[in-house]
Amino acid sequence: MKSSVEEIRQRFDADVERFSNLQTGQSATVDAPLAMELVAQAAAAVTPQAKHVVDVGCGAGNYTLKLLEQIPNLDVTLIDLSQPMLDRAVQRVQPQTQGRVTSIQGDIREISLPESGCDVILAAAVLHHLRTDEEWERVFTAFHRTLRPGGSIWIFDLIESSIGEVQSLMWKRYGDYLTNFKNEAYRDHVYAYIEQEDTPRPLMYQLELLRKVGFQEVEILHKNSCFAAFGGLKESR
């Protein structure tokens, strides 16, 4: 059995500091600083008219902070399971924008966001907690509905490979990264909580799903090992 939502929330409640470094990002992910930079730059290039960003699974707010460097004074909606994460994100984000900052504690599968209510959605290291195909499609459909015409979504996440041999190769490369970053014990620790908590899907699965729910264009920004940054653009009316 995978971890429950409550069990995942409790782990993140106790892990705020690891998500609070804007220079390194989340150290257990490959190329985290590069992904933050690429996502922020792509969102600003594709959606320069943005007024409102929704950050799903915001953690301590790193991705929103990076986007605010590119598009200042946005209204910001921060969403996370963990109240301590949200508190830290608000503390860090509020001084960096003249816009309104709203925080919502909860599971994106259960949160109802207003139709055409934002211009950019950020979702970093969060969607791998979705379980069934129905959940994935329902959440991606909600993202499309929530964006205004011409809006964009940008995702950075753990992914799987559709080809077993490639998955084994990429998983070993990721293990080597974790071992080099700290040690084998850290590698095994990260492996264990991924096995317990996460259900990632292949990059192509998610790109195809973005198209299925209505995104006009999709784009890959970066892929290394079993992590990828990518996104989609909603058609302008």
pLDDT band at 14 (very low <50, low <70, confident <90, very high): confident
pLDDT at residue number 24:
83
Q: Is the pLDDT of residue 153 over 90?
A: yes
Residue percentage of the chain with pLDDT more than 90? 91
**Any idea which fold 5-162+200-233 has?**
Rossmann fold (3.40.50)
Q: Where are the domains of the chain?
A: 5-162+200-233
**For 166-198, what is each residue's pLDDT tens digit?**
999 999 999 999 999 999 999 999 999 999 999
Mean pLDDT in the chain? Answer: 96
Q: Is the pLDDT of residue 57 over 80?
A: yes
SS (H, E, C) the chain: CCCCHHHHHHHHHCCCHHHCCCCCCCCCCCCHHHHHHHHHHHHHHHCCCCCEEEEECCCCCHHHHHHHHHCCCCEEEEEECCHHHHHHHHHHHHHHCCCCEEEEECCCCCCCCCCCCEEEEEEECCHHHCCCHHHHHHHHHHHHHHEEEEEEEEEEEECECCCHHHHHHHHHHHHHHHHHHCCHHHHHHHHHHHHHHCCCCEHHHHHHHHHHCCCCEEEEEEEECCEEEEEEECCCC
Residue percentage of the chain with pLDDT more than 70? 100
Q: At what angle do helices 5-13 and 184-197 cross, to 10 degrees?
A: 140
pLDDT at residue number 183:
97
pLDDT at residue number 114:
93
